[in-house]
Chain A
């Protein structure tokens, strides 16, 4: 009997050790410099609040932590879309002025591999900047560091919340340097093929309502672009 108990305790320790090694692997999830930070081209930085009540619309499966907004929004309960979320955000430029509208749809990806410290989401953005044009951005995002550094500490906390300073590039592909792909659709972006990076800056998270203070930024490289009125004003 004592051997059986010893074997079971060993098994439990083995599983726990594996989980801890996965979670606290120091070689993954390190912040890397954004490839766009060394770009010579114009980079349009569009920011939005990732707090659901600050968004124009947020919806997902009704069982998700993040609350739907507005409350009357239809939830995504159907089997094919229940792993998806949809948001519409007012986008602001680097000076905090309104710059456009963004629609983002993302879905948990089957390419997720916990052994590789990957929690992948496939996401697409439609971005419309009234003075400049429209683009679509598609990317894979890796939420592993977000879950490890924010969600799990919030879950373990007696207050069911997390506070701190956290900043990461979420984009992990499909570009070789961890960049998203951009296709220009109209206006001065018509015919554009470029790259982008999305990042999150987190300050607070709650297990009851999801993001409490989190800002997202979408940086889009615009090669050979005519300067927008905002950029021109900033350069003067």
Chain B
């Protein structure tokens, strides 16, 4: 009987070890990457934020507290943060499926130089850090560039355009506008 117990003990150790080795603890949900291949060998991808539904929070330093979102967001009123806006959103692909989270940070402060930055986080793929131009291009879109990325985007470089569209208004779905980010990225030379 002792021998059977010892056999069971080793079987238990082996089974637990095999389970720990082969069964993933974290198995992230993946949506299909809707990437278009461009003639230059790069790729293009569209990310969307439906407003106001996808807005998680918006904090505007120095503004009326009622302008902050959601209700109860106690945004700091330090003078030093004046002119800065932080917004965080759920991020969708071009099929309107939520694929990640995004933060958009804008500052008008002259001491650090005015800026608009995006940080996109796609849990199953990686993150992108975007630096946008302060001035829009002809009022149609705001140009920008990829300044860094992680995992899938780590070795990429390229441009991005930020659009704000109002022609997607849909009262039934509660959509009043849409922020769109269209990336045009290429991998390092020699990788393809």
Contact = CB atoms under 8 A, between A and B. Distances in A.
B98 A80 contact: yes
A10 B7 contact: yes
B44 to A, nearest CB: 21
B113 A14 contact: no
Given A56-B76, A86-B56, A114-B20, A76 B101 contact: yes
Nearest to B23: A114
Nearest to B118: A126
Contacts of B82: 130
Given A13-B9, A105-B103, A186-B113, A78 B90 contact: yes
A124 B12 contact: no
B59 A9 contact: no
A134 B84 CA distance: 12
Contact of B88 (A3, A7, A12, A57): A57
A132 B112 contact: yes
Interface residues on A, range: 35 or more
B150 A7 contact: no
Interface residues on B, range: 35 or more
A28 B42 CA distance: 43
Contacts, number: 227
Majority SS of interface residues in chain A?
Answer: mixed
Contact of B105 (A15, A83, A126, A138): A126
A14 B72 contact: no
Interface stretch (A41-49, A67-75, A207-215): A67-75
Interface of B: 1-2, 4-17, 20-21, 24-31, 56-57, 59, 70-76, 78, 80-82, 84, 86, 88, 90, 97-101, 103, 105, 107, 109, 111-113, 115, 117, 119, 121-124, 127, 129, 131, 147-148, 150-151
27 contacts: A2-B1, A6-B2, A10-B4, A10-B6, A10-B8, A14-B14, A15-B16, A56-B74, A71-B72, A72-B71, A74-B56, A83-B28, A86-B101, A98-B78, A98-B80, A105-B119, A110-B28, A112-B25, A122-B150, A124-B150, A130-B78, A136-B129, A183-B147, A183-B148, A186-B115, A186-B131, A190-B113
Interface of A: 2-3, 6-19, 22, 56-57, 59, 70-74, 76, 78-84, 86, 88, 90, 98, 100-101, 103, 105, 107-110, 112-115, 119, 122, 124, 126, 128, 130-134, 136, 138, 174, 183, 185-188, 190
